[in-house]
Amino acid sequence: MQATLVMFVISLIGFSIQDNLGDPLRELVGQSVSEKEREALRDRMGLNDPFLVQYGRFLSKAVQGDLGDSYFFKKPALEVIAKKFPATLELVIGATLIIIFSSVPLGIYSAINPKSWFTRFILGFSIVGISVPVFLTAIFSIYIFSVELGWMPSFGRGETTNLFGWDSGFFNRDGLAHLVLPSISLASIMMPLFIRLIRSEMMEILQLDYIRFAWAKGLYPKRIWFLHAFKNTLLPVITVGGVQVGTMLAYTILTESVFQWPGMGFLFLEAVNRVDTPLIIAYIIVVGLIFVVTNTVVDLLYTWVNPTVKLVGQKS
């Protein structure tokens, strides 16, 4: 229910922006049309109708998937975005995999061995990671690996293989090579965040009574760390993780712009530069939708892991 409310608010904002931003007529018709003809055109297009009427029309079209046509591409905005969506999605998947497989083991390790030199190294590395903005990691990695060492390609997506109508970069070497640097750059800010989060949560948990009791029961350390402690660490991590999805999306814009990765974020930037209003609005709405969906998924995930919380309506 809350989700629909949020979408509603977003669409309202989106629409009012569209209404005030730029003049659609100018784009469509050009300079040489007389004032009277413009007015007539406006009437015909319904642009002089009261706000609510226009908004209603906007909503009904939106629900059917019609968010207007992009000025630049002269195609339905949604279609344009949809075409670029897979690229961004793959980037996000790549980065997420890197984040999970690095931060979980490193986070757990540094919680269990707070004084080892390796932990200090991890922590130092993670402070640096947080302090280097995404676009800088991108730039530096391009500079080092691409310009100086020439190991990795520096822009674009490389070849894609078409799998059931989906152009994927995962399944061929060139595509993968192109994915490496951008994914690492995108992961670079969130990875240290999760390492530190897992570490600090777990360190607090390890001092709790039920962990001490687990030791008193003579359980094997691995079980204590990975089941007793970690399962409890998952809870706040999931919550924070959910919120970070939004940040990740914002960072895709940055990463895509450095690597000229042909995804939604790059598209959005170009749209802003060209004042391609329908595209801008469509992007905002799509992003809003993604947030709402992910938040719901995260909520469900949380209730699944945490037995003390039940969804409204579930039997206890």
Partner 1 sequence: MGKPNSEISGAKIMTGIKSFLNSDLVYRFRKDKVAVVSLSIVLILVFSAILAPLISPFDPYDLKSIDIMDSEIPPVWNEGEGDERFLLGTDPQGRDMLSTILYGMRISLTIGFFAVLLQGVLGVTIGLLSGYFGGKIDAFFMRLADIQLSFSTLMVAIIALAIFQAAFGAELYSKLAIFMLVLVIGIAEWPQYARTVRASVLAEKNKEYVDAARVIGMSPKRIMFRHIFPNTLSPILVISTIQVANAIISEAALSFLGLGMPVNQPSLGSLISSGFEYIFSGSWWITVIPSLFLVLLILSINMLGDWLRDALNPKLYKD
Partner 2 sequence: MALLEVKDLEVEFPLGRVTLQAIRKVSFSLEKGERLGIVGESGAGKSVAAFSILNLLSRPGRISGGEVLFEGRDISKLDNRQMRSIRGNQISMIFQDPMMTLNPVLTVATQLIECLKAHRKISDKEAWDISISKLKEVMIPSAEERMESYPHELSGGMRQRVVIAMALLTDPEIIIADEPTTALDVTIQAEIMVLMLELCKSNNVGLILITHDLAVVSQVTERILVMYAGRVVEEGRTQEVITNPKHPYTRGLLKALPQENTAGSRLNQIRGSMPSLNALPQGCAFNPRCEYANKECSQLVPKLEGHKGHSAACIHTKEIPPFNSELGKV
In this chain, which of 190, 228, 248, 263 binds partner 2, going by CB under 8 A? 228
In this chain, which of 247, 260, 296, 303 binds partner 1, going by CB under 8 A? 247
**Shortest Å distance, C-beta 71 to partner 1:** 12
- Which one of partner 2, partner 1, none interacts with residue 214, CB within 5 to 8 A by kind? partner 2
Neighbouring C-beta atoms of residue 295, cutoff 10 Å = 17
**Shortest Å distance, C-beta 145 to partner 2:** 42
Among candidate residues 247, 244, 211, 204, the one with its CA nearest the CA of residue 226: 211
Binding residue count for partner 2, defined by CB under 8 A: 25
Tell which positions 155-214 bind partner 2, by CB under 8 A. 207-210, 212-214
Please give the C-alpha separations between residue 151 and each of 147, 291, 297, in angstroms, as whole numbers.
8, 36, 38
Q: Which is nearer to partner 2, 112 or 176 (CB)?
A: 112
Q: Which is nearer to partner 1, 2 or 113 (CB)?
A: 2
Q: Which is nearer to partner 2, 22 or 236 (CB)?
A: 236
In this chain, which of 211, 257, 289, 299 binds partner 1, going by CB under 8 A? 257
Residue 237 touching partner 1 (CB under 8 A): no
Tokens standing for residue 103: 């931060």
Q: Which is nearer to partner 1, 11 or 277 (CB)?
A: 277
- Which one of partner 2, partner 1, none interacts with residue 242, CB within 5 to 8 A by kind? partner 1
**Shortest Å distance, C-beta 308 to partner 2:** 5
Per-residue contact string for residues 278-307; x = within reach of partner 2 by CB under 8 A: ---------------------------xxx
Residue 22 touching partner 1 (CB under 8 A): yes
Residue 75 touching partner 2 (CB under 8 A): no
Q: How far is it, in rounded angstroms, from Cα 134 to Cα 124?
A: 18
Interface residues with partner 2 (CB under 8 A) are 207-210, 212-221, 223, 227-228, 231-232, 235, 305-308, 316
Interface residues with partner 1 (CB under 8 A) are 2, 6, 17, 20-22, 127-128, 130-136, 139-140, 142-143, 147, 154, 203-204, 207, 242-251, 253-254, 257-258, 268-269, 272-273, 275, 277, 280, 284, 287-288, 291, 295
